[in-house]
Structures are given as C-alpha cells and as structure tokens.
Amino acid sequence: MRSVRRLWMTGALALLIGAIVASTAGAADDGLYRALGGDAGIARIVDGMIDRAYADERIKQKFDGVNPKALKESIRKQFCQLSGGPCVYEGETMAKSHAHLALNKADFNALVEDLQFAMEEQRVPFAVQNRLLALLAPMHREIITR
C-alpha cells in the first residue's frame, strides 16, 4: 500500500516538474514575439513595412495589383509564428509566392530596409530588430530568383 502511494507521488511529482519545465520553455520561446510588442506591435511593424514598400520607387511595381490588406494579414501571421507567437501561418511557401516576381538581391535589400525603418518608427530596440532580421535572412534563398 505504502509503495503504491510512493509510486503515485513520484508520478505526480514528475508531472508537476514536466509542467513547470514546459511552461518556462514556452515563455522563453515567445520572447521575441513579446519583444516585438505581440500581435499589436507586429501589426504596426508590418503595416509600416508594407505601406513603405508600396511607396518605395525601387520595388513598388512588384506590388501592382496585390491587395495590401491581405498581404499584411499574411505577413503578420508569418512574423507572429516565426517569433514564437500563438499564430499559424497558412500562406504559401516563400518560393511559391515570390517565383513570378523575379526578385533580385537589391529588391530583397530594399524590402528589408523598409522593414528596418518600420521597426525604428516603432522604437523596436536594435538587438530585437536583429533577431527578427536573422530569422528572415535565410529566406533569401527561396525569394531571390535572379
């Protein structure tokens, strides 16, 4: 009887420790999402970036005929998921959604610059900006096709 109780208590303790570890791991994972200001902060950043891109002489023609509202919504979800937030990005792969645009390195850098301006505008700390940019940088392999 005593050994059954001990077994039960050991199991309960293991569950408790597991829950604590899982909750602290989760908290660490969404650090960037929170540093960006959560859903509202990310929405402001993405709005700023896309508004700039649509007015950016270097790349604005790439956005001809593209609904900015839908694009913003999609990128918001992508950034939210990427930074560890509670969202699920449901859009296309980066390769599929950019293939027809024939983007080069200069186009990519122009959009990154627009994003940096938007983050500056929202007073996102430099180190936080760099953490988001570091997650986006590897995407150039899928996005740049010429």
66 lies in the site for ligand HEM, by CB under 6 A: yes
Residue 65: phi and psi, rounded to 5, are 80, 5
Give the residue, chosen from 38, 47, 74, 117, that forms a contact with ligand HEM under the rule CB under 6 A: 74
Let me know: does 143 contact 98? Beta carbons within 8 Å. yes
Give the residue, chosen from 42, 50, 59, 118, that forms a contact with ligand HEM under the rule CB under 6 A: 59
Ligand-binding site membership of 100 (annotated): no
Complete DSSP assignment for 97-122: HHGGG-B-HHHHHHHHHHHHHHHHHT
Complete DSSP assignment for 22-73: HHHHHHHHTHHHHHTTHHHHHHHHHHHHHHHHHH-TTTGGGGTT--HHHHHH
Site for ligand HEM in 90-129 (CB under 6 A): 91-92, 97-98, 101, 103, 107-108, 111
49 lies in the site for ligand HEM, by CB under 6 A: no
Let me know: does 128 contact 36? Beta carbons within 8 Å. yes
| CB nearer ligand HEM, residue 20 or residue 55 | 55
Site for ligand HEM in 77-96 (CB under 6 A): 78, 91-92
Annotated binding site for heme: 98
Q: Please give the residue ranges that form the binding site for ligand HEM (CB under 6 A).
A: 59, 62-63, 66, 71, 74-75, 78, 91-92, 97-98, 101, 103, 107-108, 111, 136, 139, 143
Annotated binding site: 98
